Amino acid sequence: MSFLTSTTRQASRLLSRHHLPLPQPQTRCASSKTPFQWDDPLSSQSLLTEEEISIQETARSYCQDRLLPRVLDAYRNENYDRDILREMGSLGLLGPTIQGYSCPGVSSVASGLITREVERVDSGYRSGMSVQSSLVMGPIDQFGSKAQKDRWLEKLAQGELVGCFGLTEPNHGSDPGSMETTAKPHPTKKGYYLLSGAKTWITNSPIADLLLVWAKVDGQIKGFIIERAACPTGTLETPALKNKNGLRASITGMIQLDNCPVPAENMLDVTGLKGPFSCLNSARFGIAFGVVGALEDCIERARTYSLERKQFNNPLAKFQLVQKKLADAATDASYGMLAAIQVGRLKDSEAGLAPEMISMIKRQNCDRALHHSRTLQEIFGGNAVSDEYHIGRHVANLFVTQTYEGQSDIHALILGRAITGLQAFF
């Protein structure tokens, strides 16, 4: 049921190079007959290729048919179903921009549309997928040797192996450059390093088969792929962090390393913070699309509720204050989607993009999604407290999306540095 069989994969690669023509500028004035679409006010759909629309439809069907029915139980019980990654793998949703290794090699916008559909259901499901695609498969594809790619990429693409990305430490979150985790040459075993240190708040770590851990070798940051199955007892622990009040449908934990032996051949070919930050560019880009999906779900649910619920003999939707909340949210969702598509096109273009563009859309879309989901929550009155209305879950999740992969204020400082040439971090 993969959306890209080997035959269509070739066709889709062609399609992705030949985008459908953009809508032509209208010579006539906007007509009152042109219908306004409340769920796509600025017609972002008109900017997509046929292939992208088809991928979006496949992702939406899967998410609505298979993920939505599971999400309440997963969220209530903090129970992430590991099979989800296998299902996503069978549909070609993992590592979608990678060429080869059973990955479809589609456009960055297509990958963003996938995260939008997954996060329309739940940010935690998007998190589990993003880590696998952008933060584990991405770095192996970008900085891995041929042997590393041959060994792991296909299994990760199929969801047969689960990966995690360990950058944050208990004492160093926004400032990963100060990390304390070290890798030292093994004193007796040639060609091996010993890794020691702790990583925290790591998505997928308790179930990960492959753990990409960033550690300092003589003060220089390097990435190591740790294979859980090869770790001697007592050298690697990944306890789960339970009782979260957001992102409960994903699984989060620590990585504790105590002289864990890792072969030098498992090291990635990149040095310094540009290693983890290059992977984060793709993951942050995915979040910028994803949170729009979560906000769109909030808008749709609030609109439906306000049309059905009556107070003072009128549907809530008839009241001006309610309409303003919907209008504000729909405006920011559609601006956010257009900006994300533009950055996606630049990402795939010859000219490329500046990482600050990703900071801008990650920050703005997360901030706006959190703000509006919280405002739309008010439309549900007391019912908002029931998880069956879903909106409270999105609000709690969207706090996390605003925090991880660079908290909103950190991205403001990245932008401030680019605008002024002066850094304000320390």
**Residues at the site binding ligand FAD, with contacts judged by CB under 6 A:** 131, 165-168, 173-174, 201-203, 247, 252, 400, 403-405, 407, 409-410, 425
Q: Crossing angle, helix 355-377 and helix 274-308, to 10 degrees?
A: 30
CA distance 324 to 305: 15
CB of 252 to ligand FAD, least distance (A): 5
How would you classify the pairing of strands 99-100 and 163-166?
unpaired
Determine if 41 is a binding residue for ligand TGC (CB under 6 A): no
Question: If you write DSSP's letter for every residue of 384-403 in order, what string do you get?
Answer: GGSGGG-HHHHHHHHHHHHH
Give the x-and-dash track for 278-307 against ligand TGC (CB under 6 A): x-xx-x------------------------
Return the sign of the alpha-carbon dihedral for residues 55, 36, 363, 20.
positive
Helix (H) or strand (E) holding 352: none
Known catalytic residue: 405? yes
Residues 343-382 that bind ligand TGC (CB under 6 A): 355
The site that binds ligand TGC (CB under 6 A) totals a number of residues, namely: 26
CB of 86 to ligand FAD, least distance (A): 20
Q: Is 119 within 8 Å of 127 (Cβ atoms)?
A: no
Q: Crossing angle, helix 408-420 and helix 355-377, to 10 degrees?
A: 140
Length of the chain, please?
426
67 binds, among ligand TGC, ligand FAD, none (CB under 5 to 8 A by kind): none
Determine if 207 is a binding residue for ligand TGC (CB under 6 A): no
> Which lies closer to ligand TGC via its Cβ, residue 176 or residue 315?
176
Q: Which of 52, 78, 117, 405 is catalytic?
A: 405
Structure tokens at 32: 């009152």
Question: If you write DSSP's letter for every residue of 87-131 in order, what string do you get?
Answer: HHHHTT-SSTT-EETTEE---HHHHHHHHHHHHHH-HHHHHHHHI
CB of 281 to ligand TGC, least distance (A): 5
CA distance 133 to 212: 13
Any bridge partners for residue 100, and if so which? Answer: 103
Determine if 404 is a binding residue for ligand TGC (CB under 6 A): yes
CB of 402 to ligand FAD, least distance (A): 9
Neighbours of 149 (CB within 10 A): 16
> Which lies closer to ligand FAD via its Cβ, residue 12 or residue 282?
282
Strand, helix or coil for residue 168: coil
CB of 286 to ligand TGC, least distance (A): 8
Q: Is 206 within 8 Å of 240 (Cβ atoms)?
A: yes
Q: What is the largest CA-CA distance in the chain?
A: 81
With CB under 6 A as the contact rule, the residue among 44, 168, 205, 402 that binds ligand TGC is 168
280 binds, among ligand FAD, ligand TGC, none (CB under 5 to 8 A by kind): ligand TGC
Residues 60-79 that bind ligand TGC (CB under 6 A): none
DSSP assigned state of 28: S
> Which lies closer to ligand TGC via its Cβ, residue 131 or residue 292?
131
Q: What is the dihedral of CA 417, 179, 238, 119, to 10 degrees?
A: 0
> Which lies closer to ligand FAD via its Cβ, residue 111 or residue 402?
402
> Which lies closer to ligand FAD via its Cβ, residue 67 or residue 202?
202
Determine if 130 is a binding residue for ligand TGC (CB under 6 A): yes
> Which lies closer to ligand FAD via its Cβ, residue 97 or residue 204?
204
> Which lies closer to ligand FAD via its Cβ, residue 4 or residue 396?
396
130 binds, among ligand FAD, ligand TGC, none (CB under 5 to 8 A by kind): ligand TGC
Give the residue from 83, 96, 87, 10 showing the smallest Cα distance to 56: 96
Binding stretches for ligand TGC (CB under 6 A): 127, 130-131, 165, 167-168, 174-177, 203, 272-274, 277-278, 280-281, 283, 355, 404-406, 410, 414, 425
- Active-site amino acid positions: 405
